[in-house]
Structure 1
Amino acid sequence: MTSRTFGRLRAGGAPLVIIGSFLIAGTAHAYSAFAPDSPYMFGDWGGERTALEDAGVAFSFDYVGEAATILDGGYRDSHVTKYADQFAVGANVDLDKLAGIPDAEFQITMVNRNGHTANDRLSDPDATVGGSNVQEVQGRGPVTRLTQFWYRQRFFDDALAIKLGRIPFGDDFATIDSNFQNLAFGGAQPGNWGNNIYNWPISQWAAVIRTNVASDWYAQLGAFNINDSNLENDNGFDLRTSGAEGTLFPVELGYTPTLNGMEGAYKLGFYTQNVENRAYGDGPATETSDTNTGLYYVVQQQVTTRGGNPDRGLTLFSMGNANHGDTAGIDRYVSIGATYEGPFDARPQDDAGIGLAYLHVNDDVKDYVDYYNATPAGLSSPLPRQGHEYDAEIYYSFNLTHYLALRPNLQYVVNPSAVDSVDNAWVAGTTIQASF
């Protein structure tokens, strides 16, 4: 749980690598390029990077690449390998240092994604609702987007914070530390299964108000503009509000204790929105409903240390999400798992993890499929009935230097795309993570 040199914020299939610049700001060292103890591959720019951080501007240049090979099973039963990646370039500005504005910061991040996913061969292409993705970094098109563009002001010794701008849902809500490659184990799971909840790298105009009611308790409320045009590849830098359809309102209560030196996070959230969505059932796809609500939880707790070192040890986690049956494609999701930091004395910076996730397709989707398959169009080209999907993953992360990690993994998918006629699949994956 404890953040070390490598840290990673997941936004539901949307990783932002935060290696180095945000964790070691203010250091007096001038690291050379490719130095193994440097947090950046290209070093400290002869000390200029540290000087900029001391002045209030911390840059990040990060890369994540994910490969996946279908070893057996899947819809097409083909042994393909697919690769997807992401470049993220950002700057965090401490406005107190730079401009004398106390307790204020500004963040800007641009993200470029490319590549393809093995799910194109793994899942049934005719499925009404999608399942998980064996490469969480893939998605939202091969395009460059403005992912973060926000201002945050803190008040009353950090008792209150207000954040305004272009914000992904997973920046603040349902977050979890994760190094898994399968989408079902990343952060902001409501954005993967709920309607109109946009995860990284999609941002929208939003406001988040957070109050720290105690040192280890907080409550926060958000308002996120819902606009499907944000999903279009041509609108990666479009800041207009025209075409807005409504607003998403998430609320989260969090408890972040440190128990015997071991960190934990316990989060309970609810969200609602005022937008009409497709209503599933035994009728045509034109039916809609304005009932769009959901609940979620996140639990993550370190339970052991290694030699009294809180940076090493076992952490357990679980996440869950329930969505309203009228409009949800996936109405129930739950995951459990464990990670271990520093499993070997010879490699104290490495980590390993294992996880299992369950996705359930709304029964109303099955009713719709049965209705459609009885129509002339369905009789000639029927849709597959969907039920549930299981995803499992085990990984080991070789943190080769402070700026480079190689993370092989093995995944097993039961009923890919929640279609039981699709063969269960074994998938071998590898994640490359670097900070420049």
Structure 2
Amino acid sequence: MNTMRLAVLIGGCLACGSLFSVASFASTSYASTSFGSPNTVDNTIKDNTRKKESWRENLASEHNLTLGLDYQVLGLSASSPTEGGDDNSAAGVARFYGSWNLTGLESGNVGGLVWKVEHRQAYTDTAPKSYSFIEPGLGYIGMIGPTYSDQGGRLTNLYWKQQFNQGKTALMAGYLDTSDYVDTYALASPWTGFTNLAFSTGAGAIGLPDDGILGLAVGHMLDENFYIIAGAADAKGRSDKPLDGFETLFNDHKLFTTFEFGWTASQEHIYTDNVHLTLWHIDGGTQHNLTQPSESGQGVNFSASFFVTPQIMPFIRGGFSEGDVALYDKSLTLGVGYFGLGAEKNNLGFAINFSEVNENLGKAYGVTDDKQFTSELYYNMSLGEFVQLTPNIQYIDNPAISTEKDTWVFGLRARVTF
């Protein structure tokens, strides 16, 4: 019955939404990735390998301007929500994004403007972002579909990206989404990869700030294999109030800082064949504190992923944190991606996560057992050039603040591109 309601809900959401944007990840489509995750604007546009309409081709070839639009919907249904919690949740997101290269076109040190604006809306009383534990739902300390909220209009990206040293060095300055460059790997995108935050950026053990915040990030290839990425951003910034960022950044001085050191088989495979360590710190006194308003947070994350065959990519990821920002004090994820399964643009992901709930958060909620186990299986399939469907199933054992001992979560994600 839950699955039937979920299918009807997804259908209704698509019927009332706009129809827009891009195709799914393929391991061969990311040459010259330049220190960005699969979710960056440049890589999202690059991944759209279908035949472009003539006006778009003309914009790209004559004006170096590339545009993208999409609309996405996520619906969730739980077999055993916590007592009094909702068993269904759904939301949609419209996105308009693009990049305009303006300088260095002949030298190879390209510089240009990158932007992404979104509108996020819930179709149920509780949006997926709040469905786990913020609102009555699963009683699971974690996030499923953290990008699917009821926030409304927001600015996610508006920055200048400049390459140096023939692309070996890249700088981004402006309104940044820190998950575009922090702890990235091929399946981190919530739009095309896993839906659970435990399998995405930070594995739940990084206290990430909001998207669309003022900041600066630099990536540099030390040689053919080793690289560094460093960044600093406004920890109090808000994507729905971007202009306030000038006041919070320059007056409050609350920062989210990161440093990553990594090895990659080559720059073109920087988030597939990759091993890295990420150090992070976020100042206290921001809206991201869990229970202690003034306490900061910091930690270290690790990640390793390799293509053992042209299609199969196992990975191990996790982290350790302390302070009052990250959801987990400890997190460990093991998983595998299978690219091109069934069709060239289709991919499958499976992963399991063991987490230990943040000590402060556990005390605030009266958690008696802070160990959680989560698993997720999804299959992203392209239906022609314009539609993707991604069914997924998750099993959560011992959701920390639930009245139930476990729950199954069935999900369906739909993406229409233009």
**Residue number in structure 2 paired with 1:135:** 145
**Residue number in structure 1 paired with 2:265:** 257
1:326-352: per-residue Cα shift (whole Å, max 9, x none)? 6654211121111111233xx333221
Report the CA distance shift for 1:53/1:213 in structure 2 as closer, same or farther (over 3 A): same
Equivalent runs, 1:1-150 vs 2, <5 Å: 2-4=27-29, 21-23=45-47, 38=50, 44=53, 47-54=54-61, 55-70=63-78, 72-76=79-83, 80-96=87-103, 102-115=109-122, 116-117=126-127, 123=133, 125=135, 131-139=141-149, 141-150=150-159
Q: Distance in 1 between matches of 2:128 and 2:169?
A: 44
- Match of residue 319, structure 1, among 306, 309, 317: 317
- Matched position secondary structure for 2:222: strand
Q: Distance in 1 between matches of 2:309 and 2:285?
A: 47
- Matched position secondary structure for 2:416: strand
Instruction: Tell me, yes or no, if the aligned pair for 1:19 and 1:403 is still in contact at 8 Å.
Output: no
Deviation at 1:296, TM superposition (A): 0.7
Equivalent runs, 1:308-347 vs 2, <5 Å: 313-325=311-323, 328-344=326-342, 347=343
Q: Distance in 2 between matches of 1:421 and 1:272?
A: 34
Matched, 1:163 2:203: no
| Paired AA for residue 74 in structure 1 | P
Instruction: Tell me, yes or no, if the aligned pair for 2:332 and 2:353 is still in contact at 8 Å.
Output: yes
Q: Distance in 1 between matches of 2:43 and 2:206?
A: 30
1:409-430: per-residue Cα shift (whole Å, max 9, x none)? 11111122x2364331111111
Matched, 1:187 2:200: yes
Q: Distance in 2 between matches of 1:130 and 1:73?
A: 11
**Residue number in structure 1 paired with 2:391:** 408
Instruction: Tell me, yes or no, if the aligned pair for 2:82 and 2:136 is still in contact at 8 Å.
Output: no
Matched, 1:430 2:412: yes
**Residue number in structure 2 paired with 1:301:** 306
Instruction: Tell me, yes or no, if the aligned pair for 1:56 and 1:98 is still in contact at 8 Å.
Output: no
Deviation at 1:132, TM superposition (A): 2.1
**Residue number in structure 2 paired with 1:198:** 209
| Paired AA for residue 395 in structure 1 | Y
Report the CA distance shift for 1:218/1:15 in structure 2 as closer, same or farther (over 3 A): closer
- Matched position secondary structure for 2:221: strand
**Residue number in structure 1 paired with 2:356:** 360
**Residue number in structure 2 paired with 1:391:** 374
Deviation at 1:224, TM superposition (A): 1.0
| Paired AA for residue 72 in structure 2 | V
Which runs of no fewer than 5 residues in structure 1 stay unpaired? 25-36, 306-312, 370-381
1:151-183: per-residue Cα shift (whole Å, max 9, x none)? 122222223222211101111111122244432
Q: Distance in 2 between matches of 1:408 and 1:349?
A: 15
1:287-326: per-residue Cα shift (whole Å, max 9, x none)? 8445x32101122211113xxxxxxx21112221211156
Instruction: Tell me, yes or no, if the aligned pair for 2:119 and 2:151 is still in contact at 8 Å.
Output: yes
- Matched position secondary structure for 2:167: coil
Q: Distance in 1 between matches of 2:101 and 2:135?
A: 47
| Paired AA for residue 424 in structure 1 | D
| Paired AA for residue 58 in structure 1 | T
Report the CA distance shift for 1:348/1:421 in structure 2 as closer, same or farther (over 3 A): same
The alignment's TM-score, normalised by the length of structure 2, stands at 0.77
- Matched position secondary structure for 2:46: coil
1:60-110: per-residue Cα shift (whole Å, max 9, x none)? 11222111112x212037783321121110110111378999521210110
Q: Distance in 2 between matches of 1:124 and 1:152?
A: 35
**Residue number in structure 2 paired with 1:309:** none
Q: Distance in 1 between matches of 2:293 and 2:155?
A: 34
| Paired AA for residue 92 in structure 2 | D
Instruction: Tell me, yes or no, if the aligned pair for 2:109 and 2:166 is still in contact at 8 Å.
Output: no
The alignment's TM-score, normalised by the length of structure 1, stands at 0.74
Q: Distance in 2 between matches of 1:287 and 1:123?
A: 19
- Matched position secondary structure for 1:62: strand
Equivalent runs, 1:238-253 vs 2, <5 Å: 238-242=244-248, 244-253=252-261
- Matched position secondary structure for 1:269: strand
Report the CA distance shift for 1:144/1:325 in structure 2 as closer, same or farther (over 3 A): closer
**Residue number in structure 2 paired with 1:349:** 345
Q: Distance in 2 between matches of 1:327 and 1:21?
A: 33
Which range is displaced more, 387-396 or 143-152?
Answer: 387-396
Which runs of no fewer than 5 residues in structure 2 stay unpaired? 1-25
- Looking at CA atoms only, which structure, 1 or 2, has the larger radius of gyration? 1
Identity, % of aligned positions: 15
- Matched position secondary structure for 2:67: strand
Cα RMSD, aligned residues only:
3.8
Instruction: Tell me, yes or no, if the aligned pair for 2:275 and 2:303 is still in contact at 8 Å.
Output: yes
